[in-house]
Amino acid sequence: MLPEKAPRKREAYGLPTSVQAIVATASDVQQMLSHGINPDGSLKPEAIRALLKLKRMSLRSMAETSGYSDAYFHQVIDRIRRDSRVEDVIAGCLGLEADRIWGRRPEEVA
Q: What is the pTM of this model?
A: 0.66
Tell me the C-alpha distance between 33 and 48, whole Å. 8
Phi-psi bin for 83: left (phi > 0), alpha (psi -120 to 50), beta? beta
Question: What is the percentage of the chain residues whose pLDDT exceeds 70?
Answer: 66
In a domain, 11, yes or no: no
pLDDT digits (tens, 9 = 90+) for 6-21: 556 666 666 666 667 6
What CATH number does residue 48 fall under?
1.10.260
Tell me the C-alpha distance between 98 and 110, whole Å. 13
How much is the CA Rg of the chain, to the nearest whole Å?
Answer: 17
pLDDT digits (tens, 9 = 90+) for 78-97: 999 999 999 999 999 999 99
In a domain, 9, yes or no: no
For 103, the domain range is 35-109
In a domain, 95, yes or no: yes
Number of domains the chain is built from: 1
Tell me the C-alpha distance between 6 and 38, whole Å. 42
